[in-house]
């Protein structure tokens, strides 16, 4: 039996800017709520459904930081968005932008607003992530900060 909807399993050209992030990354960093702790983990970005979407998985060795999964896609207007879900049951929607070889995701919410900026290193084998958070409309404060080191890469979207 043929796969239902197989004709849609093809690369989404709006997501092409995510190509440098596709792969498995070792992460290390810090979080202001965990002072003095060196966070260690892994994050992966992979093409999904023939390149129609990108799936992100993340996990840390520290149990205080929940493992998560996100689906990244786009609409006809070229907007890129992420739907995130983690082990706590938290589910959030983020707007994603691709600029200058980097990626940024953000959400504006009256309770908790967040923004993450990921900057690809010149060698293409490292990424610097800087996070910020604003609770209840208050001032922006530091959030999760990570450095990614490429473990395994994958070529562009599948043909």
Domain boundaries, the chain: 8-152
Spatial contact of 51 and 10, defined as CB atoms under 8 Å apart: yes
Spatial contact of 139 and 147, defined as CB atoms under 8 Å apart: no
Other CB atoms within 10 Å distance of the CB of residue 98 = 18
> Given a cut of 70, is residue 94 above it in pLDDT?
yes
Distance CA 72, CA 101 (A): 17
Number of residues written out for the chain: 159
Looking at residue 2, what is its pLDDT?
79
> Given a cut of 70, is residue 155 above it in pLDDT?
no
Looking at residue 100, what is its pLDDT?
86
Q: Residues 39-45: contacts with CB within 8 Å, 24+ apart?
A: 39/65, 39/144, 39/146, 41/65, 42/151, 43/146, 43/148, 45/18, 45/21
Element (H, E) at 134: strand 126-135
Q: In the predicted model, what is the mean pLDDT of the chain? A: 95
* CATH code, residues 8-152: 2.40.128.20
- The answer to whether the pTM exceeds 0.95 is no
Looking at residue 90, what is its pLDDT?
97
- The structure tokens listed for 25 are 């990354």
* Longest CA span, the chain: 56
Mean pLDDT value across residues 82-98:
98
Give residue 147's pLDDT band: very low, low, confident or very high (50, 70, 90): very high
Looking at residue 125, what is its pLDDT?
96
């Amino acid at each position: 039996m043929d796969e239902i909807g197989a004709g849609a399993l093809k690369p989404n050209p709006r997501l092409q800017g995510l190509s440098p992030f596709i792969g498995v990354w070792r992460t290390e960093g810090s979080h202001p709520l965990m002072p003095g702790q060196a966070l260690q983990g892994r994050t992966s970005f992979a093409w999904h459904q023939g390149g129609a979407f990108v799936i992100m998985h993340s996990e840390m060795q520290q149990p205080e930081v929940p493992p998560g999964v996100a689906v990244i896609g786009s609409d006809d207007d070229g907007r890129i968005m992420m739907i995130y879900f983690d082990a706590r049951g938290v589910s959030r929607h983020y707007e994603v932008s691709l600029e200058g070889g980097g990626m940024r995701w953000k959400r504006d919410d009256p309770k908790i607003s967040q923004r993450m900026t990921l900057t690809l290193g010149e060698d293409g084998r490292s990424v610097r992530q800087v996070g910020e958070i604003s609770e209840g409309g208050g001032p922006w404060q530091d959030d999760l900060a990570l450095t990614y080191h490429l473990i395994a890469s994958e070529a562009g979207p599948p043909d």
